[in-house]
Amino acid sequence: MATRISALSVRELENSFVPKLLNCKSTKGLKKIHAQIVKLSLSQSNFLVTKMVDVCDNSGDLRYAGLLFEQVMEPNVFLFNAMIRANTHNQIYDLAISLYKQMLREAENQKLPDKFTFPFVIKSCAAIFCEVLGRQVHAQVCKFGPKSHLLIENALMDLYLKCDNLADAHKVFDGMSEPDVISWNSLLSGYVRLGKMRGARAVFEEIPNKTIVSWTAMVSGYTRIGCYAEALDMFRRMQMLDNEPDEISIVSVLPACSQLGALEVGKWIHMYSEKKQLLQSVCVCNALIEMYMKCGCIDEAWHLFDQMLERDVISWSTMIAGLANYGKAPEAVELFQEMQIVKVEPNGVTFLGLLSACTHAGLWNEGVKYFDSMREDHNIEPEIEHYGCLVDLLGRAGHLDQALDRINKMPMNPGSKIWGSLLSSCRTHCNLEIAITAMEHLSVLEPDDAGNYVLLSNIYADLGKWEDVSRMRKLIRSKSMKRTPGCSSIEVDNVVMEFVAGDDSKPFARDIFSMLELLLSEQNIPDDKLDATPEDCSQLLC
């Protein structure tokens, strides 16, 4: 006859298993404890099954957790919550949502969802970008949940932001009684991710306690939309307020340094990273290498690359592309061969750098082989950028027929850059027939770009076809075409200055033009070119 166990004894027995379950780290150990629980007729205990599900959550064994849950005839809200939480943690979002629906179907007063249920259900909806289902859960929060609960509100904000619904995320935020730093940073990150930097700046300035996450969001947002000066300014403001940059903020600001040529800031970041032992991060090293390469400091990039204990495909690709850009094609090709020796699998970016290196070195035959090996040896489908490199490579080498053939066989529509590259090569090799073909496409793709018409006009001039030259010039004048002015920037005393062709509004513009005239006069410049106007100098400056 089975021994009758009192309610007090049951609670004592259940509590006796808690230390064992807290120390259990594996499914094998859990099964032994489970056997003891079954032996004592406690397998229907919601309390113990919930604790066992938590062990499965930590070990990642959701199959065993499911078996435990299924054998309980009357699971309570705590057990449902544990199962929903475990499946959400282990990214089994569909099952977490299914369990929530089951919970509602079997709902009795004690099984209604509570404040611990909703954050994980909403997180699962956000993870699968299901706004419709998330809205239904939001309605149930209003029905069952507390009027104000920070975890739930933050989860709802995250849901709407991930579904690009900034308006409803803002409504949730505006309805919060006491938003915390997570609430503020979530809203800020939502604006940044959608590229709405004006709104992001407004939110940022209102944040009462800005963290490194807040500053980094602004820096990365400005960098992403190409507002590099603003990104650098935000980074400097962050430093002035004694916020120490972390790995993410450094990786976010270095592209801005690269684009603006802010070498001194980049060098400071390098020294800071070394001091804080951040150079152990491959991402930081890769960003620094790219910065040095774009600022023309090849030796510093090489030195950092050699010091890296670990290199990923980005490390190799950045070095190859940098060497190619500075005309060091043999070194780039050699580095690619070394990359293959150490068995780092190249990607599309690697081949872009490699093809660029072959173009600059005139290695057209090798370049074609590398291009064909992408699909054959590495299962990489060439993209339009790769075709652009190939056309440029063949065009510069004078193989215009092959270049045109490759364009005609492209699996995607060739853009204006590819036809423009072919037209430029036609100017170099005086091929009027293919130039006209390229121009027929460019006149549709870029009807108002004067540069294309000027190129074709120059080809006519090189061939002595002056009537066609006159026709091209009349066409340019009749359409009132204008070329996009050139632009460049330089860093002096930690200040980045930008120059635009034709703009003489800078207070020191005359001094610059005088120096340029002096430099021109010291070179073998024809006499008719020595009388340089400010407009001529500003064109040279850019």
* Predicted local distance difference test score (pLDDT) of residue 498: 67
Phi, psi of 311 (to 5 degrees): -130, 130
- 491 pLDDT higher than 60: no
Residues 6+ away with beta carbon under 8 Å from 529 = 520
The answer to whether the beta carbons of residues 527 and 536 sit under 8 Å apart is no
The answer to whether the beta carbons of residues 108 and 84 sit under 8 Å apart is no
- 419 pLDDT higher than 90: yes
Residue 75 has, within 13 A of its CA and on its CB side, a CA count of: 26
- The chain-wide mean pLDDT, for the chain, equals 87
C-alpha separations of 292 from 41, 162, 166, 246 in Å: 69, 35, 38, 20
pLDDT-derived band at 441, boundaries 50, 70, 90 = very high
* Predicted local distance difference test score (pLDDT) of residue 405: 94
- 372 pLDDT higher than 90: yes
* Predicted local distance difference test score (pLDDT) of residue 362: 85
- 424 pLDDT higher than 50: yes
Q: How far apart, in whole angstroms, are the C-alpha atoms of residue 386 and residue 374?
A: 10
* Predicted local distance difference test score (pLDDT) of residue 480: 60
Least confident of 220-224, 278-282, 301-305, 535-539: 535-539
Sign of CA dihedral 163, 164, 168, 171: positive
Mean pLDDT within 46-62? 93
C-alpha separations of 418 from 36, 129, 341, 425 in Å: 73, 37, 33, 11
pLDDT-derived band at 108, boundaries 50, 70, 90 = low
- 366 pLDDT higher than 70: yes
- 102 pLDDT higher than 50: yes
DSSP reduced 3-state for 382: coil
Mean pLDDT within 318-334? 92
Beta bridge partner(s), residue 495: 492
Chain-centre distance for alpha carbon 370: 27
Residues 6+ away with beta carbon under 8 Å from 384 = 410, 412, 414, 415, 418
* Predicted local distance difference test score (pLDDT) of residue 541: 42
Q: Which residue has 């006069």 as its token pair?
A: 521
- 481 pLDDT higher than 70: no
Buried b (16+ CB within 10 A) or exposed e, 347-367: eebbbbbbbbbbbbbebbebb
* Predicted local distance difference test score (pLDDT) of residue 535: 47
- 383 pLDDT higher than 80: yes
- 69 pLDDT higher than 90: yes
Beta strands in 205-298 (DSSP E): none
Structure-block tokens of residue 347: 């990607």
pLDDT-derived band at 435, boundaries 50, 70, 90 = very high
pLDDT-derived band at 505, boundaries 50, 70, 90 = low
pLDDT tens, residue by residue, 301-320: 999 999 999 999 999 999 99
* Predicted local distance difference test score (pLDDT) of residue 106: 80
* Predicted local distance difference test score (pLDDT) of residue 446: 86
Q: How far apart, in whole angstroms, are the C-alpha atoms of residue 269 and residue 251?
A: 10
pLDDT-derived band at 139, boundaries 50, 70, 90 = very high
pLDDT tens, residue by residue, 245-282: 999 999 999 999 999 989 999 999 999 999 999 999 99
